[in-house]
Amino acid sequence: MKRNWNFPKAFLFDLDGVLIDSEPLHGQAWKETAALFDLNLTLEQLKLLRGKRRIDCANELVKLIPKTVEAKDLLDRHRPISRQLILRAQAMQGAESLVERCHKNNIPMALVTSSSAESFQIKTTQHKWMNLFSVIVLGDEKLLAKGKPAPDPYLLAAKKLNIAPQECWAVEDSIAGVSSALEAGCFVFFLKENHNKIPKKEVFDQHKNLKQINHLKEIEKILNEYRINKAY
């Protein structure tokens, strides 16, 4: 199979919607929070929040709420709702297998998530395989000037691994996350859902460093092909 990318020196994984099936729960939490302020969020509006930090989501919603509200007020109401919901988060199909395979084959891995430290702890406590990551970049990381869609999170993860972002494969499921990883210079696997295809208007729709996939097993299949060709 002819490709325009090389075998990765590292994998950079998003968390929500890639490794943990928490995106629907996050959407529900924001929808319930917005309703407390008389705002009925549409599916399209919820999609725009995917992959972003809590503070960035709150700042977006403040613009939509018909009355004067501070982002802090939103976050204070959102926190307990979110905590209860994300306790239900389960692993995405194929996630544990892919992470364990990378670890077994000594491929460095970083987790690049917009989740706060508190949220990350709640979502991952029952998933012991999360301990296999050597680097974790969180949404409230002090070294981050900006979150996704800015490239900062992926640039920081690559820096911590001491590997050029151009030599990393990133796995994302949101437009914000894909934008972040591409701008950082990574090759990106976009884990899409039927309702989450990249809009044709997006400038990276035909980006040479982007591949859309339907399941994480597709990445394992690609790794198998490299193994046959003795790339690792």
pLDDT digits (tens, 9 = 90+) for 99-156: 999 999 999 999 999 999 999 999 998 899 999 999 999 999 999 999 999 999 999 9
Ordered by start, the domain boundaries in the chain are 10-21+89-228, 23-86
CB–CB of 127/52 below 8 Å? no
pLDDT higher at 98 or 228: 98
Residue 34: the pLDDT is 94
Query: What angle do the packed helices 152-161 and 175-184 form, to 10 degrees?
Result: 50
- Say how far apart CA 153 and CA 174 lie, in whole Å: 14
Helix (H, G, I), strand (E, B) or coil at 91: strand
Task: Name the superfamily (CATH) of residues 10-21+89-228.
Answer: HAD superfamily/HAD-like (3.40.50.1000)
Q: Which helix (H) or strand (E) holds 136?
A: strand 135-137
pLDDT in tens, 175-197: 999 999 999 999 999 998 644 55
Q: What angle do CA 116, 118, 121 make, to 5 degrees?
A: 105
| Nearest-5° Cα angle at 56, 85 to 74 | 55
Select the more confidently predicted residue: 199 or 81. 81
* Domain topology for 23-86: DNA polymerase; domain 1 (1.10.150)
Please, which pLDDT band fits residue 5 given cuts at 50, 70 and 90?
A: low
129 by Cβ neighbours in 10 Å (0-12 / 13-18 / 19+) ranks as middle
Supply the pTM of this predicted model: 0.84
Residue 53 burial class via C-beta count within 10 angstroms: exposed 0-12, middle 13-18, buried 19 and up: buried
Residue ranges in the chain assigned as alpha helix (H): 23-35, 43-47, 54-64, 71-86, 95-104, 117-124, 152-161, 175-184, 217-228
